């Protein structure tokens, strides 16, 4: 009778979950948007009397 054996030598492909590159990109995308809008409104305030 065939014995059920757990295959242990098979590799499971796992995505590297610790990569935060996408998060970093989106944080900077939002951050730069906030800075650009803030600076343009500040310039408008300084330029007007």
**Chain positions contacting another protein, by CB under 8 A:** 18, 20-21, 23-24, 27-28, 31, 34-35, 38, 42, 45, 48-49
Residue 41, both tokens:
């409104």
CA distance 39 to 33: 10
Nearest-approach distance from CB 17 to another protein, in angstroms: 11
Nearest to 37 by CA among 25, 29, 26: 29
Nearest-approach distance from CB 40 to another protein, in angstroms: 14
Nearest-approach distance from CB 1 to another protein, in angstroms: 50
């Amino acid at each position: 009778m065939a014995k059920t054996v757990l295959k242990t030598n098979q590799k499971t492909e796992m995505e590297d979950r610790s990569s935060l590159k996408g998060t970093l990109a989106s944080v900077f995308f939002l951050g730069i948007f906030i800075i650009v809008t803030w600076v343009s409104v500040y310039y408008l305030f300084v330029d007007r009397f």
